[in-house]
């Protein structure tokens, strides 16, 4: 009873918030007054309108009702730059609009104007800022910066709309309403010159009763929309800032006494079998003398499953309850819908018929924090969705919404967050019908001033928007959770929002990203792996834990979405973790004509319309492109979200098939397996297996008899297809796939010809190795192979050179500035001296050289090259990469060459068919693929790294006649072939080509052969590359083979040709571990390692050893039947044991980034000063006890590698044997900018046990200081 009273009081308060206002003195200033959100607007209610018959409720859309009249179409329109110049009196029926423009409704006027040559305000994209200014009274007409789009010359455009309409004759004696499904940010309404009302909230339906204002025959309707209103404070979403009548507008009519609203809700029993239906039906108008209300539930077979009646209903809310025996439940997997039909009668006369699709669903929370639907734990495979069209901007057609839902279903997506506002009402209909869980979000975001959630003046509009949202949308069964809004701070206005939602609907959960204090679930955005794991683990020990959701994650900007698999493994492991919603669904780019071109278009983003302020490409974060086409990240998402998992059991004797479905079996799916030999299909067979929801079955498949080649790789590939066509997919559509390796290849060693006839000539800069059919040219200046000709045809036309650079992705944002500072985009080479030997038989020639590649400063890289050129034209390339400064993050470590024009055909054995990267390759199955070099360019809105292939065994590039080169990597490689050079597109982070049509493509083929390619991560907004996929500068051997192809070869012959091992051993990697021990490894199977210390005789390496004083180490590997490797070499300094080091003083530290992490021997952790206000200012100090006294020769500062924040600029360094007496700094200086390790060489060695580093400034002028590692170089220990 007490709860009922509380709800009544709260609803009474809401009625005050939401009641119509009507006073002339409120009218003119309403648009600029936070306290006025509407005038004379109708109370929100369910979306349904009357139908002519019960059959129409079942079979027809509201547009087909005789009581519906669309006002979409051509309206007259006048645009002005500010309110002072708006047309006065335009609402009068006799106002002449003949000179006005035409505009199509629905549309947004900025985009309509651009497409139709109008000089109105143009599209503007901004993320977290308001594109307007305001004063202390929250007037949106404050003074503006002149460089802004909406400056003092165009402070607040106003759009005036007008059109005629005629009412159907049979609407006489009915109430007439006009509904705008979306218009704003704020608009005034007149009918026949009479003031009707005012409304704010661009994304919810708004409705007015215009019965008093209409007349028989022709009527006029006039609308005036302000670009900025007080409602704009709550619409600071990461989106194009459009305005206009952006969704459908229509008239509808109802009887004088009508079913004004209803709320259908269900309560399932403890077994989730039978249901109790509670139906609240609101009547308005006059009391009927012989009234009754009939409620029916009709199933898809048109059978009535429940029916009830109320006699003599009251005006206001009437409640009906019905019991339903085991109804079909609604879920995203089984979107079972029923037809609700409500009929209002007065005696034998039918007065009103309403209704629509409803479903049976129950949302709850389990004892372990599980989010439950119909009793089953949910892991949401979700996306955030904007209402966006590349053509219409915010105006989205039904066909486009249908394509959204179809594509989501095809990609195994099961949930949508309507970010960050209610989507078009039709979208919810599709989710109900085809099965998508909806996290429904209100139109509340004050990102540019999140303190507004604590301002009482804004409580009313924030509560009102949530109240209206629930009332309009609550009969959509797809909605499982209400969201208060987004990124609006944690103020207590949201406590009132929570109460408002629960007063209207207690059958669903609540959510809010910015502060979950009052909501049913907690949430994060872009939480990293460790943080989400901590949440999952900690809630295992909580009593009544809340579910946790990542409402935004896996930022899909450009070439992106590394780390997704690891995150989903967490969601599936911990009960309280409920999945994530990718940011976001579709690129918010706009299709525009390329200037100066005919029938050519590009995707525009922030800044392309000279809009200021803007946030560039940050609107293009889509899992799919704006035209619904897919890319590798789309397919990878589909793979991770797929409904069936495949794996080998622990002993490898059977395959495990696991259904991840919750409500349905796999009866509608056909499961096949295929045996592949080096990518070639050997056998395909259908499995006779059906999995129940959540079931795991063991299946034995033994095809060993078909695996006859030891030198081939064998895989089993599972494919799951849709048996029958669905609305969203054709019969035979692939729903899931997996591939598992059954056998690795044991390949024969390449046989070196016994005789040859090779010749060696030297002429100036050139060293030429010639055979009967080929010529390989090596350069003394370049220190490498520079040309290769086979049968008089040039196949290599540029030097084979070290390549550390890639065209930065938008997720490389944390690193690209550092790469600029390091200077790795264009390396210069200091070539060593060639050592050339030709075998006595002329069957092979060995060429060795050591080069130094120079970037900026101390970023220097040594590369040992060893070429073995055979008389048949094959070249074995052995390389060893050794950086002077280790541990800096690099884009790639590999080598690049060029082939002339017309080498276009691309075939490879590796992951495909789409591009792949170390942390996003799961959907790219290993096989042999055919494509073209041209097709390796992906159409990212911002040109960036594209086309890479992971786990490549071999890659061939040929002309149309089949002649070309075969590149083979015995230990696999990352590889690509493209028609672009990164350095032609990118000069630095502030100077790069911004659109694909600006890219200077080349006809040459650029070949990249990489030992390692950096992962992608999600650092455009979220965590950077995970440690296991990060690429740091360290000793890296790489071996590959170059083979000429002299005639066309099919895939099978190419595979056979590439099934070889190198006859040369792999180089030795020499490393000193953190314990000080020297370890050596080689990738050569059964290879022996021999090493020398300080020029001593070479000795067989058996166990790690210490070299505390440092020294020179050389090593090579050898194996029976193979040529020995090149000799690698390192110079080690005295080993400094940091295990006993201690921080004895520090000025400040941030939680999680404590000072001790600057000496923990882990470059992935860091010391960082606090970055939440108040921020301590410089100087920042850290002092360390090194436990021993050293003769210090150098000081080492390693900056953080995940960005520049806190990197030290100016510093003082102190060394002392007394921590209470530091004296003067031994060095005062400035670190060079960039992420590379900094070494400060002292003029002479200084004896010291303690050091103190004082950071005096930061590279970007901020208040912070950070350090990944601090250390020393010492010549002796005292």
Question: pLDDT per residue over 519-540, tens digit each?
Answer: 999 999 999 999 999 999 999 9
Cβ within 8 Å of residue 166, ≥6 positions away: 217, 218, 219
Question: pLDDT per residue over 388-408, tens digit each?
Answer: 999 999 999 999 999 999 999
Quote the pLDDT of residue 14: 46
Distance CA 874, CA 503 (A): 78
Beta bridge partners of 76: 102, 162
Question: pLDDT per residue over 182-198, tens digit each?
Answer: 999 999 999 999 999 99
Quote the pLDDT of residue 1085: 87
Quote the pLDDT of residue 25: 58
Quote the pLDDT of residue 20: 44
* Of 200, 464, 498, 552, catalytic: 552
Band of pLDDT at residue 824, cut at 50, 70 and 90: very high
Quote the pLDDT of residue 910: 98
Mean pLDDT, to the nearest integer, of 761-782?
A: 96
CATH fold label, 1070-1132: Immunoglobulin-like (2.60.40)
CATH fold label, 1142-1277: Jelly Rolls (2.60.120)
Which residue in 982, 990, 901 sits closest to 948, CA to CA? 982
Distance CA 64, CA 850 (A): 79
Q: In whole angstroms, how far apart are CA 520 and each of 363, 453, 504, 549, 1230? A: 11, 19, 15, 11, 51
Residues of 648-675 as b/e, b for ≥16 C-beta within 10 angstroms? eeeeeeebebebbbbbbebeebbbebeb
Residue 1016 near residue 920 (C-beta atoms within 8 A): yes
- For residue 238, pLDDT beyond 60: yes
Residue 1118 near residue 1124 (C-beta atoms within 8 A): yes
- For residue 285, pLDDT beyond 50: yes
Cβ within 8 Å of residue 179, ≥6 positions away: 205, 206, 207, 249, 250, 251, 252
In eight-state DSSP terms, residue 749 is B
CATH fold label, 258-358: Immunoglobulin-like (2.60.40)
Q: Is 552 a catalytic residue?
A: yes
Quote the pLDDT of residue 652: 84
- For residue 474, pLDDT beyond 60: yes
Q: Which of the listed CATH numbers 3.40.1590.10, 2.60.120.260, 3.40.30.10, 3.90.1200.10 matches domain 2-254?
A: 2.60.120.260
Distance CA 642, CA 996 (A): 32
CATH fold label, 759-1064: Beta-galactosidase; Chain A, domain 5 (2.70.98)
Say yes or no: do domains 1070-1132 and 1142-1277 share a fold.
no
Q: Is 487 a catalytic residue?
A: yes
Cβ within 8 Å of residue 658, ≥6 positions away: 644, 645, 646, 647, 691, 695, 696
Cβ within 8 Å of residue 263, ≥6 positions away: 46, 279, 280, 474, 475, 505
* Of 200, 464, 487, 580, catalytic: 487
Q: Where are the domains of the chain?
A: 2-254, 258-358, 401-636, 759-1064, 1070-1132, 1142-1277
What strands, in cross-sheet order, belong to the sheet with 68-70?
68-70, 249-254, 175-180, 206-209
Quote the pLDDT of residue 8: 43
Where is 728: in which H helix or E strand?
none
Question: pLDDT per residue over 401-449, tens digit each?
Answer: 999 999 999 999 999 999 999 999 999 999 999 999 999 999 999 999 9
State pTM to two decimals.
0.93
Where is 42: in which H helix or E strand?
none
Quote the pLDDT of residue 515: 64
Which residue in 1275, 1254, 1249 sits closest to 1185, CA to CA? 1249
Q: In whole angstroms, how far apart are CA 154 and each of 130, 235, 310, 614, 952? A: 15, 20, 58, 17, 57
Distance CA 220, CA 165 (A): 6
Quote the pLDDT of residue 1203: 77
Which ranges of 764-837 would DSSP assign to H, the alpha helix? 813-822
- For residue 357, pLDDT beyond 70: yes
Distance CA 1206, CA 1210 (A): 12
Band of pLDDT at residue 23, cut at 50, 70 and 90: low
User: What's the mean pLDDT when you consider all of the chain?
Assistant: 95
Give the least confident one: 12-16, 215-219, 460-464: 12-16
Quote the pLDDT of residue 9: 44
Question: pLDDT per residue over 591-647, tens digit each?
Answer: 999 999 999 999 999 999 999 999 999 999 999 999 999 999 999 999 999 999 999
Q: In whole angstroms, how far apart are CA 224 and each of 161, 241, 1192? A: 6, 18, 76
Which ranges of 423-573 would DSSP assign to H, the alpha helix? 425-434, 459-473, 493-504, 529-538, 564-573
Cβ within 8 Å of residue 964, ≥6 positions away: 795, 899, 903, 905, 956, 957, 958, 1045
Quote the pLDDT of residue 24: 54
Quote the pLDDT of residue 18: 45
- Token couple for 388: 């966006």
| CATH number, domain 401-636 | 3.20.20.80
Mean pLDDT, to the nearest integer, of 899-925?
A: 97
Distance CA 976, CA 803 (A): 13
Ramachandran class of 643: left when φ > 0, alpha when ψ lies in -120 to 50, beta otherwise: alpha
* SS3 of residue 532 by DSSP: helix
């Amino acid at each position: 009873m007490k709860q009922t009273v509380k709800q009544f009081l709260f609803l009474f308060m809401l009625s005050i918030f939401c009641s119509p206002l009507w006073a002339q003195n409120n009218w003119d200033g309403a648009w600029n007054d936070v306290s006025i959100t509407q005038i004379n607007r109708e109370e929100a209610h369910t979306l349904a309108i009357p139908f002519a018959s019960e059959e129409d409720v079942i079979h027809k859309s509201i547009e087909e009702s005789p009581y519906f009249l669309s006002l979409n179409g051509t309206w007259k329109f006048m645009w002005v730059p500010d309110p002072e110049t708006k047309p006065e009196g335009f609402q009068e029926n006799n106002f002449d609009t003949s000179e006005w423009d035409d505009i199509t409704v629905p549309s947004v006027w900025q985009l309509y104007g651009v497409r139709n040559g109008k000089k109105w305000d143009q599209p503007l994209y901004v993320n977290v800022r308001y594109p307007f200014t305001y004063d202390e009274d929250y007037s949106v007409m404050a003074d503006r910066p002149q460089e802004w789009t909406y400056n003092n010359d165009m402070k607040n455009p106003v759009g005036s709309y007008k059109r005629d309409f005629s009412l159907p004759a049979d609407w006489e004696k009915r109430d007439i309403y006009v509904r705008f499904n979306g218009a704003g940010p704020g608009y005034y309404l007149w009918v026949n010159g009479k003031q009707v009302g005012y409304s704010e909230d661009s994304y919810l339906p708004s409705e007015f009763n215009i019965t008093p204002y209409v007349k028989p025959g022709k009527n006029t309707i006039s609308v005036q929309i302000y670009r900025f209103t007080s409602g704009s404070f709550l619409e600071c979403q990461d989106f194009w800032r459009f305005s206009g009548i952006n969704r459908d507008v229509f008239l509808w009519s109802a009887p004088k006494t009508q079913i004004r609203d209803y709320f259908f809700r269900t309560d399932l029993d403890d077994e989730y079998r039978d249901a109790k239906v509670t139906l609240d039906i609101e009547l308005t108008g006059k009391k009927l003398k012989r009234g009754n209300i009939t409620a029916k539930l009709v199933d898809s077979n048109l059978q009535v499953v429940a029916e009830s009646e109320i006699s003599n209903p009251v005006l206001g809310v009437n409640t009906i309850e019905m019991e339903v025996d085991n109804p079909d439940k609604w879920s995203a997997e089984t979107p079972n819908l029923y037809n609700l039909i409500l009929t209002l009668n007065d005696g034998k006369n039918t007065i009103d018929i309403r209704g629509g699709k409803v479903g049976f669903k129950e949302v709850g929370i389990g004892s372990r924090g599980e989010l439950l639907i119909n009793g089953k734990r949910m892991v949401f495979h979700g996306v955030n969705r904007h209402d966006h069209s590349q053509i219409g901007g915010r105006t989205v057609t039904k066909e486009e919404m249908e394509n959204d839902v179809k594509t989501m279903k095809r990609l195994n997506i099961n949930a949508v967050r309507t970010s960050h506002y209610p989507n078009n009402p039709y979208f919810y209909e599709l989710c109900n019908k085809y099965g998508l869980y909806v996290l429904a979000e209100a139109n509340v975001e004050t990102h540019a001033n999140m303190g507004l959630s604590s301002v009482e003046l804004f409580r009313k509009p924030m509560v009102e928007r949530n109240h209206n949202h629930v009332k309009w949308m609550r009969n959509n069964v797809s909605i499982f959770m209400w969201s208060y809004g987004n990124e609006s701070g944690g103020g207590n206005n949201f406590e009132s929002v929570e109460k408002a939602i629960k007063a209207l609907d207690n059958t669903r959960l609540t959510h809010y990203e910015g502060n979950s204090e009052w909501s049913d679930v907690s949430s994060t955005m872009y939480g990293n792996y460790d943080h989400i794991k901590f949440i999952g683990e900690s809630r295992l020990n909580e009593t009544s834990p809340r579910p946790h959701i990542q409402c935004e994650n896996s930022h899909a900007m450009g070439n992106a979405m590394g780390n997704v698999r690891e995150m989903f493994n967490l969601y599936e492991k911990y009960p309280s973790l409920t999945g994530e919603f990718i940011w976001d669904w579709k690129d918010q780019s706009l299709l525009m004509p390329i200037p100066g071109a005919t029938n050519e278009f590009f995707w525009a983003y922030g800044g392309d319309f000279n809009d200021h302020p803007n946030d560039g490409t940050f609107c293009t974060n889509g899992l799919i492109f704006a035209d619904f086409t897919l890319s590798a990240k789309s397919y990878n998402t589909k793979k991770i979200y797929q409904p069936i998992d495949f794996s080998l059991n622990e002993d490898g004797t059977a395959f495990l098939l696991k259904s991840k479905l919750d409500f349905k079996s796999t009866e509608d799916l056909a499961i096949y397996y295929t045996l592949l030999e080096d990518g070639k299909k050997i056998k395909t067979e259908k499995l006779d297996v059906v999995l129940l929801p959540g079931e795991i079955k063991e299946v034995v498949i033994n095809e060993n008899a078909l695996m006859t080649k030891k030198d081939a790789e064998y895989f089993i590939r599972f494919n799951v297809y849709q048996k029958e066509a669905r609305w969203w997919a054709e019969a035979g559509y692939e729903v899931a796939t997996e591939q598992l390796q059954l056998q690795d290849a044991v390949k024969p060693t390449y046989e070196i010809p016994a005789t040859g006839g090779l010749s060696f000539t030297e002429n100036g800069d050139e060293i030429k190795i010639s055979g009967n059919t080929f010529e390989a040219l090596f350069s003394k200046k370049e220190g490498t192979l520079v040309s290769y000709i086979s049968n008089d045809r040039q196949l290599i036309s540029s030097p084979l050179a070290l390549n550390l650079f890639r065209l930065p992705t938008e997720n490389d944002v944390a690193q690209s500035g550092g790469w600029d500072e390091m200077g790795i985009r264009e390396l210069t080479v200091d070539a060593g001296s060639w050592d050339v030997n030709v075998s006595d038989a002329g069957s092979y020639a060995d060429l060795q050289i050591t080069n130094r590649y120079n970037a900026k400063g101390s970023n220097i890289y040594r590369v040992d090259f060893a070429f073995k050129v055979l008389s048949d034209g094959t070249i074995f390339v052995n390389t060893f990469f050794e950086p002077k400064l280790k541990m800096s993050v690099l884009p790639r470590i590999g080598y690049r060459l060029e082939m002339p024009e017309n080498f276009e055909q691309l075939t490879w054995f590796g992951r495909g068919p789409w591009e792949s990267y170390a942390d996003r390759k799961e959907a790219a199955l290993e096989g042999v693929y055919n494509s073209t070099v041209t097709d390796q360019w992906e159409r990212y809105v911002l040109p960036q790294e594209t086309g890479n292939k992971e786990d490549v065994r071999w890659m061939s590039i040929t002309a149309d006649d089949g002649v070309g080169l075969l590149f083979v990597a015995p230990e696999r490689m990352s590889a690509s072939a493209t028609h672009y050079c990164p350095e032609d597109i990118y000069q630095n982070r502030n100077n790069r080509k911004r659109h694909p049509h600006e890219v200077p493509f080349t006809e040459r083929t650029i070949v990249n052969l990489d030992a390692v390619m950096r992962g992608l991560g999600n650092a455009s907004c979220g965590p950077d590359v995970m440690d296991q996929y990060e690429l740091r500068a360290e000793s890296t051997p790489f071996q590959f083979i170059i083979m000429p192809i002299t005639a066309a070869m099919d895939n099978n012959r190419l595979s056979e040709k590439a099934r070889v091992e190198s006859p040369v051993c792999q180089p030795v990697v020499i490393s000193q571990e953190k314990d000080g021990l020297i370890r050596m490894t080689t990738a050569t199977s059964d290879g022996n390692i021999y090493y020398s210390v300080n020029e001593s005789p070479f000795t067989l390496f058996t166990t790690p050893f210490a070299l505390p004083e440092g020294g020179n180490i050389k090593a090579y590997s050898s194996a029976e039947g193979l040529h020995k490797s090149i000799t690698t070499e390192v110079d080690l300094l005295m080993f400094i044991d940091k295990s006993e080091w201690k921080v004895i003083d520090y000025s400040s530290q941030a939680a999680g980034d404590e000072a001790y992490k600057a000496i923990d021997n882990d470059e992935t952790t860091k010391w960082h000063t606090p970055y939440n206000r108040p921020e301590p200012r410089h100087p920042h100090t850290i002092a360390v006890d090194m436990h021993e006294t050293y003769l210090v020769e150098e000081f080492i500062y390693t900056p953080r590698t995940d960005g520049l924040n806190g990197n030290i600029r100016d510093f003082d360094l102190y060394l002392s044997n007394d921590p209470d007496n530091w004296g003067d700094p031994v060095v005062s200086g400035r670190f060079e900018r960039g992420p590379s390790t900094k070494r400060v060489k002292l003029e002479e060695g200084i004896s010291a046990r303690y050091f103190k580093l004082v950071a005096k400034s930061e590279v970007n002028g901020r208040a912070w200081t950070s350090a990944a590692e601090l250390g020393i170089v010492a010549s002796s220990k005292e």
